[in-house]
Amino acid sequence: MIGKQFFHLFKAVFFLLLLVACAVNWPPGKVEPIESHYKMQSCENILEKPGDIPKRLLGSPEDITIDHDTGIAYISSLDHRAFQKADGNDHQELAKPGAIFRYNIDAGGPFEKMDVVLQGSTSEFSANDIFPHGISLFSIAEGELQLFVVNKQIGKTPNGNEKADVVDIFDVEGKILRHTYRAKELISDLPDLNDLVAVGHRQFYVSNNPSPQDKFSLLWRSITGEGNSKILFYDSKGYKIVDGDLALANGIAVSKDLQKLYVADSLNGDLLSFSWAGEYFKRDPKKLSVSSSLDNLEWKTEEKKALLIGAHPSIFRFGLHAEIGSFPSPSQVLQVEIPDIQFSDNLKIQEVFYDNGSMLSGSSVAALYGKKLLLGSATQHKLFVCELGV
């Protein structure tokens, strides 16, 4: 999941590489020909034929969640380059509002934009001002779903602070998203929300980052792995800090019994686990470290025994790709078998998908339904539906 921190970091990486290139007379050319490999029978980019959906609404489908009872996938889509340009210049009119889409996996379509309606009247929410980021489904009862959406905010408040992102909650009614609640009581110096996981009617955990600093301080954080990114919990009383010592908190997931919390720390390439300690989550001593920048987390099945992780094998190539869209960046999907107890040294990790960027760059999420694997990107107008092999 790519937030404001990531885009500032990518620009820092880009300018640093540019300086190095000038120093050694080595202009960054195309990516080295690393062989792509994946266990798929076929993959189709369903955004190539979006039907009657305007192209301006398609954006980048960076987060996906699936209702396994119906086989419906819900997709968060936003043109992040346009959003960052608008936010950086404090001009909301430059941004292109995003959308939530749904896709019937079993039937192979349709891929359709969901209609947002208001429940009652509110001056705080407009159906046309949706800039979606992380999303999470929550089942209230059988057949009754809520969709939690991180809604990015543009510009600054009257006192000069960056506008804090909000979480909007919708009732899912077929093709309709009925807005019912907005969580906005965010700590003023922690405005940048990323991914979230719903655990109750109006309760969720969310990854959060401080206000973006200058490019080179962010670059320094990427080198040292130090930071003050946070995990927050929200209920009707407001936000509480669960952990405040991550380099860059990203994807987040919770176990079926709600006793374990899992968080991707993107800059360190760590998958962290937290255990319920009676009144709060406490970070476990063991962590899973991989040589990849981890993005969104999705459970492989409803049993929640394995996580699928969208990942970026090279954060430097991703930085170039974020700045120059035509420059390819490798994409990766990892599968991690989650133990019933603490992480161990023999944790099972499997690479499900690797592409050198020729097919897909900026892979941010992978979600599975049966033998259909959906792949989303934080930067490209691509949503792949892949048929897994035997």
Q: DSSP assignment of 300-315, as one string?
A: SSTT--EEEEEEES-H
Cα(68)–Cα(65) distance, integer angstroms: 9
The residue assigned the tokens 């959406």 is 149
Cα(357)–Cα(272) distance, integer angstroms: 27
Nearest to 356 by CA among 42, 31, 45, 41: 31
Domain covering 4-388, topology: Neuraminidase (2.120.10)
pLDDT in tens, the chain (390 residues): 555 555 555 555 544 544 443 333 333 233 344 466 677 778 999 988 767 676 666 789 999 999 999 999 999 999 866 776 665 555 555 567 889 999 999 999 899 999 999 876 555 677 777 899 999 999 998 889 999 999 988 766 666 667 788 999 999 999 999 999 999 876 655 678 999 999 999 999 999 876 555 455 556 665 666 677 899 999 988 899 999 889 889 999 999 999 999 999 998 899 999 999 988 899 999 999 998 999 999 999 999 999 999 999 988 888 888 778 788 999 999 999 998 777 877 788 999 999 999 999 999 999 999 999 999 999 999 999 999 875
What pLDDT digit, counting tens, does each position of 7-33 carry? 555 555 544 544 443 333 333 233 344
The pLDDT score that the predictor gives to residue 22 is 33
The residue assigned the tokens 């699928």 is 308
- List the beta bridge partners of residue 311: 294, 332
The pLDDT score that the predictor gives to residue 142 is 84
The residues, any chain, with a CB within 8 Å of residue 76's CB and separated by 6 or more, are 61, 62, 63, 64, 98, 100, 132, 133, 134, 135, 149
The pLDDT score that the predictor gives to residue 18 is 43
Nearest to 212 by CA among 316, 318, 312, 87: 87
DSSP string, 182-249: EE----TT--EEEEEEEEETTEEEEEEE-----HHHHHHHHHH----EEEEEEETTEEEEEEEEESSE
C-beta atoms surrounding 296 within 10 Å: 31
Burial label for 279, CB within 10 Å (0-12, 13-18, 19+), is: exposed
The pLDDT score that the predictor gives to residue 85 is 67
Query: C-alpha distances in angstroms, 341 versus 13, 202, 276, 348?
Result: 38, 28, 12, 14
Nearest to 361 by CA among 36, 11, 53: 36
Amino acid occupying residue 305: K
Q: How many CA atoms lie within 13 A of 352 on its CB side?
A: 29
What's the chain's Rg over C-alpha atoms? Answer: 20
The residues, any chain, with a CB within 8 Å of residue 227's CB and separated by 6 or more, are 221, 245, 246, 247, 248, 267
Residue length, the chain?
Answer: 390
8 A C-beta contact, residue 353 and residue 366: yes
The residues, any chain, with a CB within 8 Å of residue 111's CB and separated by 6 or more, are 46, 47, 50, 51, 53, 101, 102, 103, 383
